[in-house]
Amino acid sequence: MSGPVEHADDLCAFIDACPSPFHVCAHVGRLLDAAGFTRLSETDTWPREPGRHYVVRGGSLVAWASDTEGGPATPFRIIGAHTDSPNLRVKQHPDLTRAGWQLVALEPYGGAWLNSWLDRDLGLSGRVSVRTRDGADDRLIRIDEPVLRVPQLAIHLSADRNGVELDPQQHLNGIWAVGASGSSFRDVVAGLADVAAAAVLGWELMTHDLTGSRRVGAAKDMISAPRLDNQGTCYAGACALLDAAGGSSGSIPVLALFDHEEVGSLSARGAASDLLVSVLERVSLGRGADRQDYLRALAGSLCASGDMAHATHPNYPDRHEPAHHIAANGGPVLKVHQNLRYATDAAGAAAFALACEQADVPLQRYMHRADLPCGSTIGPITAGRTGVTTVDVGAPQLAMHSARELMGAADPAMYVAALTAFLAPDSPAAATART
């Protein structure tokens, strides 16, 4: 099993391999392929026998290992996470020319902390739909070169020397050339997809920070990286599923990675879609279940909705609930909100607390200040969509929704161990995942 340093370095490598939700699904798919999982298509008839499989719907992925003991009403143990992160995304008519500069028109996605995107070397990634003989096909696109930059206004031109107010329509376009340009943005994208410009039918493209993820600090006990929210959980959840697969816990381990959490999850592949419930039903049918068996399975299931948590900020301790300080390298975080911005109830809290005990990792309990608005996550959506008892958890970090975020280097290993124990409470892998 990997230890804390290995998990920290592996998380950095995972994030650097995954600049977009589509790349997350492709990368996790490769990890699953190597472990003997088989990708299925939602339009095909699925196998009528248990096995290890996964499906991909755009930037979302659901994987499961149903080769476990139990009958047709065997319950599920689910880890949920989201693949998307706030960033700047390319508009449909991106080419702009202003004051002798060539620009790419960008729009904020989700609750991006906009000032953190200024003065950074930015690449581009996502997917492009291109014309084919049979209609259209999707291609992954990735440019790991500094092709875009959103420059800050000079301090001498600002009315407020402590910062400028950013208008998302006017101030966030990316510069990519000086003077006249012979190529349009579509031309460049077409070249990367190896098709003619006229064959580019659509795109979902976004910027990403090119500075690599790494361990930092005098003792290298922190991780500086983009997209920790929520690729930190995508990584930990994938590790947990691979560790838990083949166990004999009497439940079916499932990993559900959803796109579009940062904009509300209401899409064909978000947590509010039918993706998870349809996959779970088809998995039950493959074990010989009827409708009643499937509903029995859901009633006995548990879900850990994983999303990163707020560590207590040393420069802003007054912004945190005084009795609920959260420490980096202090272990996984259980998140509770009385008005259900988090889905955690007593039963879910107990299940995750027991998982942390089995994994021999400390558990921290987070509550938001009552006088500040609290963010939400896929937990309440998943609980409402499935009826499954759901607990919201995470790993602590600073600078959430910034272009670069910060967490403790020991936390990924503890997070993996706790999620492994949650998926497979009787598995010996859970007790050794962090050692």
In-domain check, residue 217:
no
Cβ proximity of 285 and 47 under 8 Å: no
Residues 359 and 316 in one domain: yes
Token pair for residue 223? 């991780």
206-to-84, 151, 228, 242, 422 alpha-carbon distances in Å: 11, 17, 17, 30, 34
Count of CB atoms situated within 10 Å of the CB of 320: 19
Residue type, 370: A
User: Of the residues 209, 235, 269, which one is the last residue of a structural domain?
Assistant: 209
Q: Please report, for the domain that includes residue 238, its CATH number.
A: 3.40.630.10
- If one counts the domains in the chain, the total is 2
d(CA 85, CA 229): 6
**Tokens representing 78?**
């689910």
Q: Cα(385)–Cα(277) distance, rounded to whole angstroms?
A: 8
Q: Using alpha carbons, select from 282, 376, 226, 220 the residue that is nearest to residue 55.
A: 282
pLDDT of residue 247: 73
Query: What's the DSSP call for residue 263?
Result: G
In a domain, 403, yes or no: yes
CA–CA gap between residue 334 and residue 365 (Å, rounded):
5
Work out the number of other CB atoms within 10 angstroms of the CB of residue 184.
14
Report if residue 413 sits inside a domain. Answer: yes
**148 close to 122: Cβ distance less than 8 angstroms:** yes
Q: What is the biggest distance separating any 2 CA atoms in the chain, rounded to whole angstroms?
A: 71
Query: Which two tokens mark 8?
Result: 């920290």
Residue 431, pLDDT score: 45
Regarding whether 239 and 204 lie in a shared domain, the answer is no
Q: Please give the distance of CA 382 from its chain centroid, rounded to a whole number.
A: 15
Tokens of 82: 């989201």
Instruction: Specify whether the backbone of 281 is left (phi greater than 0), alpha (psi in -120 to 50) or beta.
Output: alpha
Same domain, 70 and 178: no
Beta-strand pair 76-82/302-306 = parallel
**Residue 220 within a domain:** no
* pLDDT tens digit at each of 435 positions of the chain: 578 999 999 999 999 999 999 999 999 999 999 999 999 999 999 998 889 999 999 999 999 999 878 889 999 999 999 999 999 999 999 999 999 999 999 999 999 999 999 999 999 999 999 999 889 999 999 999 999 999 999 988 888 777 778 999 999 999 999 987 778 999 999 998 889 999 999 999 999 999 999 999 999 999 999 999 999 999 999 999 999 997 767 899 999 999 999 999 999 999 999 999 999 999 999 999 999 999 999 999 999 999 999 999 999 999 999 999 999 999 999 999 999 999 999 999 999 999 999 999 999 999 999 998 888 899 999 999 999 999 999 999 999 999 999 999 999 999 999 999 999 987 554 444 434
Whether residue 288 is contained in a domain is answered as yes
Mark whether 109 and 56 lie in a shared domain.
Answer: no
Identify the CA nearest to 112 among candidates 420, 400, 373: 400
Asked which of 161, 182, 209 is the last residue of a domain, the reply is: 209
Whole-angstrom distance, CA of residue 375 vs CA of residue 261: 11
Q: Residue 355 phi/psi, 5° resolution? A: -65, -45
The Cα 433–Cα 417 span in angstroms is 5
- Report pLDDT for 250: 86
Residue 71 lies in a domain: yes
Residue 165: count of CB within 10 angstroms of its CB:
10
Same domain as 385, residue 280: yes
H or E element in which residue 31 lies: helix 21-34
Place of tokens 């272990």: 331
369 in the same domain as 250: yes
Whether 32 and 25 have beta carbons less than 8 Å apart is answered as no
CA dist., res. 19 & res. 226, Å (int): 9
Of the candidates 308, 309, 204, 304, the one whose C-alpha atom is nearest the C-alpha of residue 256 is: 304
The answer to whether 72 and 287 are in contact (CB under 8 A) is yes
**Rounded Cα distance, 276 and 294, in Å:** 13
Indicate if 122 and 231 belong to the same structural domain. no
Domain range enclosing 157:
87-209
- Domain co-membership, 259 together with 160: no
pLDDT at site 428: 53
Closest CA to 259 of 87, 3, 33: 87
* 38 plus 50 within the same structural domain: yes
> CATH number, domain at 151?
2.30.250.10
**Is there a single domain that holds both residue 246 and residue 282?**
yes
Q: pLDDT value at position 427?
A: 59
Tell whether 158 is covered by a domain.
Answer: yes
Cβ pair 325, 315 in contact under 8 A: no
- The 3-class SS string of 197-253 reads HHHEEEEEEEEEECCCCEEECCCCCEEEECCHHHHHHHHHHHHHHHHHCCCCCCCEE
Quick one: pLDDT at residue 432? 45
In a domain, 214, yes or no: no
Same domain, 166 and 254: no
Among residues 209, 237, 262, the one where a domain terminates is 209
371 and 231, same structural domain?
yes
